[in-house]
């Protein structure tokens, strides 16, 4: 899989390029409560709103 870079506004060339570029979101309250930096992956920002987007893309590419 080739890495795709976005422009400075986060715009990717097409929907396929958006799959797998899932942002991390800092969970401030949980981090403060535990004293650790806690990050969550925002999989809902994938085009299909699921982690399964990566698996589906891989299946299609291998077909």
Q: DSSP string of 23-61?
A: PEEE-HHHHHHHTS--EEE-GGGSTTSSTHHHHHHHHHH
Q: Is there a catalytic annotation at residue 41?
A: no
Could you say which of 26, 28, 41, 52 is catalytic? Answer: 52
The two three-digit tokens of residue 10, written as one number: 């986060």
Catalytic residue IDs: 52
């Amino acid at each position: 899989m080739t890495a795709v870079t976005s422009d400075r506004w986060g715009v990717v060339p097409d929907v396929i390029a958006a799959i797998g570029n899932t942002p991390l979101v800092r969970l401030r309250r949980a981090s403060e409560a535990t004293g650790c930096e806690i990050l969550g992956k925002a999989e809902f920002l994938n085009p299909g709103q699921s982690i399964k987007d990566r698996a589906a893309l891989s299946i299609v590419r291998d077909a």
